[in-house]
A and B are shown apart, each in its own frame.
Chain A
Amino acid sequence: AQKVTQAQTEISVVEKEDVTLDCVYETRDTTYYLFWYKQPPSGELVFLIRRNSFDEQNEISGRYSWNFQKSTSSFNFTITASQVVDSAVYFCALSEARGSGGYQKVTFGIGTKLQVIP
């Protein structure tokens, strides 16, 4: 069974500090997808990134960067120069095929609540 572990339940940083959110996953499949979502206090889940299991290149998008390492089954998320608007709950998720039809099964981690203090 697939599993996503976000060991950090809450993190507080002072504005402008860098912060890394950890995500470790378990899966038996060789083909899978990993995601990060942001959930601000308003409640809506905002898609941030998708990465497939065959692409281990790190990705940078503005102040956000992601480090995918299959050897350690990790997909960590770093925010550089954090801002108050980054305060949210961040979810890591894993998508696998389920059944012969390839239907989607997405497993979410428990989330990491990030508080950026001004």
Chain B
Amino acid sequence: SAVISQKPSRDICQRGTSLTIQCQVDSQVTMMFWYRQQPGQSLTLIATANQGSEATYESGFVIDKFPISRPNLTFSTLTVSNMSPEDSSIYLCSVGGRRTFTDTQYFGPGTRLTVL
């Protein structure tokens, strides 16, 4: 399985500001995914990021609020823009080996975000 790191591991931010979360993988992967886990809740997929193409967002998530970059096969960023307290969550990136549903997704350690 791939080794995945995320930066920052946690942050406390003020309302109205933006935070960019980085996800680094130790091997090349086709698919990267960004999830949000609100306090005490399950994981919700924000978007799927393929290298060299626009991210695909799930219903309820928009690019203006959660812009994603995927400049190469080992790196991606998620920005949480114009934050409000409702954005306080754990944000997790995950990777799948190929673009098929048979793959196991492996997760990074997560970024704990608190918005005041």
Contacts and interface: CB of A to CB of B under 8 A. Distances in A.
Interface residues of A, number: 27
B105 to A, nearest CB: 6
Nearest to B43: A108
Nearest to A106: B105
- Chain B residues touching A, range: 20 to 34
A42 B109 contact: yes
A106 B63 CA distance: 21
A97 interface: yes
B34 interface: no
Interface string B51-74: 000000000000000000000000
Interface string A34-48: 010100001111110
Contacts of B48: 103-104
B99 A109 contact: no
Given A44-B110, A103-B99, A91 B104 contact: no
8 contacts: A44-B110, A45-B43, A52-B102, A102-B101, A103-B99, A104-B96, A105-B45, A111-B42
Interface of A: 32-33, 35, 37, 42-47, 50, 52, 91, 95-98, 101-106, 108-111
Given A47-B106, A108-B42, 17 more contacts: A33-B101, A35-B105, A43-B90, A43-B109, A43-B112, A44-B109, A45-B43, A47-B104, A47-B105, A91-B43, A103-B48, A103-B99, A104-B48, A104-B100, A104-B103, A108-B43, A110-B42
Interface of B: 1, 31, 41-43, 45, 48, 90, 92, 94, 96, 99-110, 112
